[in-house]
Structure 1
Amino acid sequence: AVGRHIMPRLHGAFSLGTVAGAGLGAWAAAASLPVFWHLAAAGAVVAVSVTTAAAWFRADITPVAGERTYVPDNFEDPSTGPIAIITPGSRPLEGSDVPPVPLDNKRKIAEAWRDRRTLLLGVMVLGLALAEGAAGDWVALALADGHGQSDAAGAAGYGLFVTFMTIGRFAGTLVLDRFGRVPVMRWCAALAVFGLGLFVFAPVPWLAYVALAVWGLGASLGFPVGMSAAADEPAKAAARVSVVSTIGYGAFLCGPPLLGLLAEHVGILHSLLSVMVMLAVSFLLSPVARKVPQTPLR
């Protein structure tokens, strides 16, 4: 809609929070802060931040060119203000010749789950999201148990990973606009594979930290680009984004415990090698992220 990539920067803002959290976690570990007080302080910060941010949320009911326009019923929520509610019986604006059309979200979602490109996008995102989720749950422990680092150094290592992931997301908008999604996705998957492999087999600890920077860059753009690609056709964007995000979040839900189960048998470092299989799949599926022509909203 805006003619350029903006989703990576939105995810970059999210990643700034992980950088701050990793940094504070490293400090807490170095200072031997009890876990209770660490989590209590983090919970208080989250509660205040969410409450403050939510006060700025307002429903946007500005008409968009090409969309059907309706006179909505309004529900007054004391915390967010008026929220537009469009029902199957909503009336078109006065003077409009557009007839009321019943909403059929269930049908659109069902169609999205049967759409080949959407499912392949989900699998592509799954592989790169697994690379991100595996780092979030296991890097600190892998540095401590696999590379002989302290708990604080392990948390700092994860901080390095998310720092470079954040850099990749903020810089990724320019890279995507210049080179396009497909080559960038291929480079991301390749960098993630290289960084992960180097991390596992690093002969000295400092090289493992270099590997985390490369791994973070590689994992940075998979999720935001997948969301953007799923939304290429505005008329079907909501349903397709929901499908791709559901598949992608499966990596965060199922990936870490499965890696932990595997680590019981082969060790934490070698268990991470299994992520490379899904990254290879993401590399091969990169062409599905190619931008498709938009179809008008109907």
Structure 2
Amino acid sequence: MSEEKKARQLRLALFALFVVIGVATSTWVTRTPALRDALHASTEQMGLILFGFSVGSMVGILSANWMVERFHARKAIVAGMVVNLAGLALLAVGAGMAQVAVVVMGFMLFGVGMGWADIAVNVEGGALEKMHQRPLMTTLHGCFSLGAMLGAMLGTLMAWCNVPVMWHLLGVVLLGALLTASLVRRVENHSAQPAAGEVESAHGGFVLNAFKDRRVLLIGLFALGLALTEGAAHDWLPLLMVDGYDFSNAQGTLIYMLFTLGVTVARFGGQWLLQRFTRLALMRASAVLAAVGLLVVIFAQSPVGGAVAVVLWGLGAALGFPLALSAAAEGDGNSAQRVGAVASLGYVAILVGPPALGFVGEAFGLRLAMLPVLAGCCAALLLTWSFKQQPLQLREVKHTKS
């Protein structure tokens, strides 16, 4: 098999894996109103339940780079998907039993597996992008968003049909397991062989070593601010629409689909945009769109206006994180370490930040709980002006035909 054919198969496998991860993530998000009702939980209690996801995610994120370095990307992806789907199955059973402790345990396992799989796929994608000098990360994350949209559509259908959360999620677990078993065989560890002198200690210092480089730290902080805007929507948008605008559970799920649609369209258009605009310009545009969308969602008086603003929110949240990963992959040295470090910081924002918003939402309502998210988005925008003084290589990646 030719190298180009192998690379094409690897790209398709990585794309499909991110679709599976996206489906698994969004399909339970769309059922959070039903999950809350089944567990008889308040908004604050839901925040505590989701904290199990945060704890698991932190464990997965902080150990993912070590796993990739020690066991290589393919084994890290396999382990991540197995633990991820096992956690989703446990979450499903806990929802059916109305047992909060079981649901929390399921969220923890789901978070660990997601951290491992996401970081490993991103590291492998960054290595492939650098190797072939063609845009990949926006499309890769577009596949996650496509999966999230498909999962949201499935969740909407299940909500309309009043299908119990347990049977809905167990069906997703079965489908995800079958697809994962077929896809992981095509992953060949392009990130597994660092050049001599590139390998840092794999015990605890992997991420911190990368952030000693001011260039990587700036990219990581930008990724944190924009990733939080995406994570907040994934965790809270359906409930925000239900509690903040008095939409029904099914309508709240439908509006979440609008968000995922905006993210998906922007990410699949990312390669086209990179051929016409600089990466820095797209980073700034992303922050502006997300900030405007959040501002309207927080303060709009009209439910229709709030729902429409969700699309702007999604368009803005779409490109910031994958563009930051592409910027981290460029340059000499250990690109896998840089991508892993920036991805870790972004996923901390996506997975750990949003559950804390539940405490703010309990006190002030979920709409005002989005104010810290808006602040993070504005901080990321301001941060882009410091990029001029840093060699961030925020240019377009050279495009070549496949």
Report the TM-score range of the alignment, normalised by the length of the smaller protein: 0.7 to 0.9
Q: What amino acid is aligned across from residue 273 of structure 2 in structure 1?
A: V
Q: Distance in 1 between matches of 2:392 and 2:196?
A: 32
Q: One-letter code of the match for 1:6? A: L
Q: Hey, which of these two has a bigger chunk of helix by percent?
A: 2
After superposition, give the CA deviation of every residue in 1:133-189 in whole Å (9 maximum; x if it has no partner): 000010000111110111111111111101110100011222122111111111110
- The 8 Å contact of residues 198 and 333 in structure 2, kept in 1 or not, is answered as no
| Cα distance in 2 between the residues matched to 1:59 and 1:260 | 39
What is the letter of the counterpart of residue 153 of structure 1? Answer: Q
The answer to whether structure 1 residue 13 and structure 2 residue 143 are counterparts is yes
Q: Distance in 2 between matches of 1:269 and 1:182?
A: 30
Deviation of 1:234 after TM superposition, in Å, equals: 3.8
Aligned positions of 1:3-82 closer than 5 A: 3-59=133-189
Instruction: Count matched residues.
Output: 258
Superposed displacement of residue 6, structure 1: 2.4
DSSP 3-state at the match of 2:187: coil
Q: Deviations over 1:189-229 (max 9, x none)?
A: 01001001111222222212210111000000111101011
Q: 1:126 aligned to 2:224?
A: yes
- Supply the distance in 2 between the matched residues of 1:273 and 1:202 (Cα, whole angstroms): 13
Superposed displacement of residue 102, structure 1: 6.0
RMSD of aligned residue pairs (Cα, Å): 2.3
- Tell me, yes or no, if the aligned pair for 1:125 and 1:223 is still in contact at 8 Å: yes
Query: Following superposition of structure 1 onto structure 2, how do residues 1-298 of structure 1 map, counting pairs within 5 Å?
Result: 1=130, 2-59=132-189, 101=196, 104-106=199-201, 111-287=209-385, 288=387, 290-291=392-393
Unaligned ranges ≥5, structure 1: 62-83, 87-99, 294-298
After superposition, the Cα gap between the structure-2 partners of 1:231 and 1:151, relative to the gap in structure 1 and judged at 3 Å, is same
Higher fraction of strand: 1
1:212 counterpart letter in structure 2: V
Q: What is the letter of the counterpart of residue 361 of structure 2? A: A
CA contact (8 A) 2:138 2:271 kept: yes
Structure 2 distance, partners of 1:35, 1:108, is: 39
Stretches of structure 2 that go unaligned for 5 or more consecutive residues are 1-129, 396-402
- SS of the aligned residue for 1:14 comes to helix
In 2: Cα distance, 1:11 partner to 1:189 partner: 17
Match for residue 81 of structure 1?
none
User: TM-score, normalization: structure 2?
Assistant: 0.60
Q: What CA distance in whole angstroms lies between the structure 2 residues aligned with 1:174 and 1:10? A: 14
Q: Equivalents in 2 of 1:103, 1:282: separation in Å?
A: 30
